[in-house]
Amino acid sequence: MDGAIKRITEREQAYVMEVLNTQFRASLSGSMTRRLEEKFAARFGAKYAISHVNGTATLHAALAAAGIGPGDEVIVPPLTMASTSLAVLHANAVPIFADVDPDTFTIAPADIEKKISACTKAIIPVALYGLSPDMDAIMKIAARHNLVVIEDDAECFLGYYKSRLVGSIGHMASFSFQSSKHITAGEGGMLITDDEALAGRVRRFNSLGYAMLEGGAGKGKITKDVIQDPAYERHISVGWNYRMPELCAAVALAQVERLDELVDRRLRVAGLYDEAIKGCDWLVKQQVPEGYKHSYWTYVLKLENAGQFSWHDFRRKYMELGGDGIYGAWQPTYLEPAFSKQRFYPRGCPTLCPHYGGQLQEYGPGLCPVAESIQPKLLQFKTNYLDMNMARKKAEALAETIRYFGRRR
Residue positions annotated with a catalytic role: 181
10 Å CB burial of residue 59 (0-12, 13-18, 19+) is: buried
Cα–Cα–Cα angle for 134, 138, 140, rounded to 5 degrees: 125
Cα–Cα–Cα angle for 41, 43, 47, rounded to 5 degrees: 30
| 12-36 core/surface letters (b: 16 or more CB in 10 A; e: else) | beebbebbeeeeeeeeeeeebbebb
CA 145 to chain centre: 24
What is the rounded CA–CA span in Å between residue 50 and residue 310? Answer: 45
Gyration radius of the chain over CA positions: 22
Full DSSP string of 90-139: HTT-EEEE--B-TTT-SBPHHHHHHH--TTEEEE--B-BTTB---HHHHH
Per-residue DSSP letter, 240: -
Per-residue DSSP letter, 365: T
- Beta-carbon neighbour count of residue 163 at 10 Å? 8
User: Residue 133 — φ and ψ, nearest 5°?
Assistant: -75, 180
Give the chain's end-to-end CA distance (angstroms, integer).
38
Residue 199 and residue 47 in contact, taking contact as beta carbons nearer than 8 Å: yes
What is the rounded CA–CA span in Å between residue 282 and residue 299? Answer: 16
What is the rounded CA–CA span in Å between residue 326 and residue 381? Answer: 6
